[in-house]
Amino acid sequence: MPIIKDIQLYVPKNKNLNWSFFHETRCITFFYSRLLPKLQAKDDKGVQIYCIKEIEQREQIDTFAHIIFNYFPVYVEADTEGILSLASGREKKKKTLEIVHEGMKRAADELNWDKAVLDDIYNSIKHSGNENIYPLLKKNSPNRKYVCSIICHHEINTIDVYMEIKKRNGDIVNKNCYSLLKIRTNSIYLVIMVT
């Protein structure tokens, strides 16, 4: 049986809105996906959450025209344009988390998962202040005196990648931001920076 490893938000019937919404909500969907335990599904490796204005629109959507193979489809009412128009990144993250959690609870109903696990994930994301900071890689120096970590800080429009070098006792020797990935609604820019 496959294990659920990914969550995708999808806005049907509007390609441009879907593109913008996908990229501006990816930090929270990835955060939620990263914290998922090994949830098993029959044939699915992810959950595709259709964000629609009214739940009655569910019957009007041709899922085969908007399908991601091996993803379990669920439907959630969401004002995607309203979320994108919010000026505060914190508010966008809060609204996105509500959509993702609602969609995952609906998937849990269909696939008989324990909702308490999803509630724990939801609460831990809220407790972190919706800040998606995670270690990407961790290596020891050949002499084992230092530990190098590559840390990602995933925001709505950026992903900051830091390289942090620590002594074994935990003292930080050096911390640099080496790259900054800026995501715009219609293109992606990679800006190399050393600070």
Which tens digit of pLDDT belongs to each residue from 32-86? 988 888 877 677 778 888 888 877 666 666 666 666 677 888 889 988 888 888 8
Give exposure, 44-83, as e/b (b: 16+ Cβ within 10 Å).
Answer: bebbbbbbbeeeeeeeebeeeeeeeeebbbbbbebebeeb
Pick from 19, 33, 27, 11: which is nearest to 156 by CA?
Answer: 27
CB neighbours of 184 closer than 8 A, spacing ≥ 6? Answer: 157
CB 45 within 8 A of CB 5: yes
Q: What is the predicted pLDDT for the residue at 96? A: 92
Let me know: does 30 contact 96? Beta carbons within 8 Å. no
Q: For position 125, what pLDDT does the model report?
A: 93
> For 110, which DSSP code?
H
Residue pLDDT, tens place only, 121-142 = 999 999 989 888 888 888 888 8
Q: What is the pLDDT of residue 23?
A: 87
Pairing of strands 146-154, 132-140: antiparallel
Two tokens, residue 36:
């998922």
- The span from the CA of 54 to the CA of 87, in Å, is 24
Q: Residue range 81-92: average pLDDT?
A: 88
**What pLDDT sits at residue 100?**
92
Q: How far apart are CA 7 and CA 45, in angstroms?
A: 9
The CA distance from 87 to 93, in Å, is 11
